Homo-oligomer: A and B are copies of this chain.
Amino acid sequence: MQRVFEALSSVVRRKILAYLAHADMTAGEIAARFEISKPAVSQHLTVLENAGLVTSEKRGQFVHYRLVPDHLANTLHAYAQEVCPVSKPLKAESARIAAKRKS
């Protein structure tokens, strides 16, 4: 929990998660999308991995990173529940999905 919120506190790391939400990427592909150095990006990836938000897999020369979407969603949802038990956005989302199911 602490590690997840710590990880999310950085703009760079949130951008990395956004990239990985669309497609798995190698460390190099991710680094290429930022102005900072590769080691800096590598450190950000380590933070994300320690938070359980991404996983990595070495394939030959490359290290492929991918999102662990459930972990992020679960953590955010758990915290939202804790602080605002019946939050409006969740209810709105629910209504939308419920409406879809009816049709």
The interface of chain A, by Cβ under 8 A from chain B, is 2, 5-6, 8-9, 11, 14, 17-18, 21, 67, 69-70, 72-74, 76-80, 82-85, 87-91, 93-95, 97-98, 101
**B73 touching A88, Cβ below 8 Å:** yes
Q: Which residues of B contact A72 (CB under 8 A)?
A: 80, 83-84, 87
Interface of A, secondary structure class, is: helix
**Given A80-B76, A80-B77, A9–B11 Cβ distance below 8 Å?**
no
Number of copies of this chain in the oligomer? 2
Instruction: List, in ascending order, chain B residues with CB within 8 A of A9's CB.
Output: 5-6, 8-9
How far, in angstroms, from A9 to B94 measured CA to CA in the complex?
28
Chain B residues whose CB sits within 8 angstroms of the CB of A91 once the complex forms? 97
Once A94-B94, A101-B98 are accepted as A-B contacts, the answer to whether A83 and B17 lie under 8 Å apart by CB is yes
